[in-house]
Amino acid sequence: MFLSAALALFVAQPAAPKAFEFKDGDRVVWLGSTLVEREQRYGYWEAALIAANPDKNITFRNLGWSGDTVHGEARGRFDFNNPAACFKQIVEPTLALKPTVIFISYGTNEAFAGKDGLPKFERGMEKLLGALKPANARIVLFSPMRFFKSASLPDPKPMNEKLALYRESIRELATKHGHTFADLYQIHPDFSNFSDNGMHLNEKGYDQTATGFRFALGHEEARLSTEKVEAIRKAVIAKNEQFFNKWRPQNETYLTGFRKHEQGRNAKEMAEFDPFIAKGEEEIANLRKELKK
């Protein structure tokens, strides 16, 4: 049912936000926690944006990290007790990709701290936005998604009230800095099988919220060939897997970490994923062009 769930997934149907416009040649980097990292497994949201822009060559690189915060605490690995080292793991990989667009999706994990945690979160967001300025990229700040009822999370209301506080904080930050605000909080699938636990979307959840994701960016639903978009999605997943293997190799402790003195010479092999990533991008581009026929 790719892209078939329209605005019915919203609690209310607000006026569409001002559309975020992509440009031909855009290089998009996604930053965030579980919501972002899981999307690369399924590819529905990325494929939806590619299919909606068949005349533009747009590439996406997913740097999501499950359980992460705006401070980079999860991706800090063995440097988890070194805030500077953790934060560097967000900024350096992002700038190295030379993005023209950066999607930033934080606030879900931070919201567990409630109102008392807002000042720390806001300082972290300000610091991140400042650190990413050298990219000179257009930035989209996403709100957290709300939680919804499930067998393991029967009453999401208390947590949603906290998430709403962070949503408004992110909205204000976007306004302050002139960035685009994309409101994912409004997406509200009322079906337990959209999620494993009321917090994290499963494959069906990403499928059924693809239209809501595009609406958050100001893009209205378009009638697209399901078969052709599905082909793009599968190509996106294959490309994402190759990129993931490059930037997060399973044996990174030996390749680039504190044990690199043992096998660091093999780190050169990480670049060998590049031709496979390029091949994946070529396939996506060819499929994208088919949508115009």
Cα–Cα distances in Å, from 9 out to 5, 23, 48, 158? 7, 28, 16, 21
Which residues partner with 101 through β-bridges?
Answer: 28, 138
d(CA 101, CA 110): 24
Compute the chain's Rg from CA coordinates.
19
pLDDT per residue over 45-72, tens digit each?
A: 999 999 989 999 999 999 999 999 999 9
Cβ within 8 Å of residue 200, ≥6 positions away: 34, 35, 38
CATH of the domain at 161: 3.40.50.1110
Answer yes or no: are the C-beta atoms of 225 and 291 closer than 8 Å. Answer: yes
Residue 236 falls inside a structural domain: no
Collapsed DSSP state (helix, strand, coil) of residue 211: helix
pLDDT per residue over 212-239, tens digit each?
A: 899 899 877 656 668 889 999 999 999 9
Q: Is the dihedral of CA 52, 58, 61, 64 positive or negative?
A: negative
Residue ranges, the chain, pLDDT below 50: 1-13, 254-255, 262, 264
Question: For the packed helices 44-51 and 34-42, what is the interaxial angle rounded to 10 degrees?
Answer: 70
Phi, psi of 201 (to 5 degrees): -65, 145
- Which pLDDT belongs to residue 265? 55
Residue 164 falls inside a structural domain: yes
- Which pLDDT belongs to residue 38? 96
- Locate 61 and state its tokens: 């690189």
- Which pLDDT belongs to residue 258? 54
Residue 20 falls inside a structural domain: yes
Domain count, the chain: 1
Give the global pTM. Answer: 0.89
- Which pLDDT belongs to residue 237? 98
Q: Which of 3, 22, 98, 40 is nearest to 239 (CA)?
A: 40
Residue 40 falls inside a structural domain: yes
> What DSSP designation does 14 have?
P
d(CA 265, CA 202): 38
Find the domain containing 137 and state its range: 7-225
Provide the phi-psi class of 20: left if phi over 0, else alpha when psi is between -120 and 50, else beta: beta
d(CA 128, CA 131): 5
CA angle 176, 76, 179 (to 5 degrees): 15
- Which pLDDT belongs to residue 254? 43
Residue 194 falls inside a structural domain: yes
